[in-house]
Amino acid sequence: MSGISSIFGAVSAKVDSKVAALFAKSAKSVDSSELINKKATGLPVEHVQPEAANDSKDNSDSAYESAEGSDVEMDEAPAPVPASVRPKKRRDEDDDLEDRYMAKLLEETKEEKKASSDNEEEKEVTQSAPKAQTVDLKLSELEKAERTVFVGNVSTQVITSSKLQKEFKNHFKKFGAISSVRFRSFALGELLPRKAAFITKAIDDKRDTVNAYVVFVQKADSVKATELNATVFHDHHLRVDHLTHPLQQDNKRSVFIGNLDFEEQEESLWKYFTKNCGDVENVRIIRDSKTNFGKGFAIVQFKDFLGVDKALLLHDKVLDTSEKKRKLRITRMKKTEKRSDRPLGKNARNLTEKEKSILGRGKKTLGKSDRRTLGKTLTIEGERAKKGVKVKGIKNGLGKVKKPRITKRSQKFRSDNPN
């Protein structure tokens, strides 16, 4: 002590009473429940305008410096919240609002550019799109076939006589309204086009029967009209069958007739077998499609199985109802293998199963002219003419030009009249 006192001097016994009182008292323990229940004292925050942001910032800096100078005052009272916090938040919100507005404008411009590019692409696609094509399924013809009845062994007088033609229509009208009647398979008497021969009634007298197609308005009426099968109309037994729902060939009730004359008629077979064997359901002479002459054999189907046994007893007997009086060759019908389906064509690979079934049904029911174009592609939409594109078949185009026919009559006229 003597050394310290000699250096710093003697220590006075004077003690500050306030400081001594602070260290004399012992601090009590703090209860956690009191801290929870005690309400926080909030300080009022003054609303400062954004223009005074710099002034408030200076004041806060000076306050911060004064707070650093006295640690005791900071412990006793916390520093006030700077008033510049709220204006800064508003400024950030304004900046975000402006950014959102600009982003929205940019999105609208991008959408407009995208829409314009889409329109340009659509125009390019429409300009370069190929012509639309579809497969011709003959749906209208198939719908007509559902209402059509085939009538065979019809007298040719129905074509030549308008009175008989009216009676023929009335014969089927009792089942329902008729849309149209078409006559087919008539023999030509002169070398004329078939349509011209029908108009001029130039029909061969050796063939006294034709085939007809009766189209009804309703499908149900056409099905009922098949009841006229094996009925007699002007001394001819009619063979009536539905076009799309034909009568199934039953080999157990059918016989094969051979050694027939090429000009033989169905009516002679109807009369012969009806007289000797009983009720006949169907008689069909197989004919050549071009000449309409028979091929020398026929198929006769009976309504009962007993008719087959009776017909077999007539083997090598003379057909007395015919003019030629030829001996018949009669045998049982043999079971034949089912004919494989015709190919549907190249375009069938792109068709659905429903369209394929329609195409297959059309090849079985439609006529030759419709079968030729069935399944071919049809152009729905044409293309605009372009400069430099040549059309096949016209002058200065690709391919051959169809020249006019020069006849002997025109040549003779030119030679006789040189001027």
Cα-trace Rg, the chain: 55
Q: Which domains does the chain have, with CATH numbers?
A: 136-247 (3.30.70.330), 250-336 (3.30.70.330), 346-379 (no CATH)
For the chain, give the percent of residues with pLDDT over 90. 30
Q: Cβ(254)–Cβ(308) under 8 Å?
A: yes
Q: In what order do the strands lie in the sheet with 254-258?
A: 280-287, 294-302, 254-258, 329-332
How far apart are alpha carbons 67 and 64 in whole angstroms? 5
What phi and psi values does residue 247 have, to the nearest 5 degrees? -70, 130
Task: Quickly state the pLDDT bin for 11 (edges 50, 70, 90).
Answer: low
How far apart are alpha carbons 304 and 42 in whole angstroms? 116
- Strand residue runs (E) in 217-279: 239-242, 254-258
The CA-based diameter of the chain, rounded to the nearest angstrom, is 176
Question: Which residues neighbour 327 within 8 Å (Cβ) at sequence distance 6 or greater?
Answer: 259, 316, 317, 318, 319
Residue listed under structure tokens 């009473």: 17
Task: Quickly state the pLDDT bin for 404 (edges 50, 70, 90).
Answer: low
Highest mean pLDDT out of 8-22, 52-66, 244-258: 244-258
What pLDDT, on a 0 to 100 scale, did the predictor assign at position 141?
83
C-alpha to C-alpha distances, 1 to 4, 9, 14, 15, nearest whole angstrom: 5, 10, 18, 19
Of residues 331, 209, 321, 322, the one with CA closest to residue 275: 321
* Summary mean pLDDT of the chain: 75
- Indicate the range of 47-61, 277-291, 300-314 predicted with least confidence: 47-61
Q: What is the pLDDT of residues 325-378, one digit of tens each?
A: 899 999 999 877 665 555 555 555 567 777 777 777 777 777 777 777 776 765
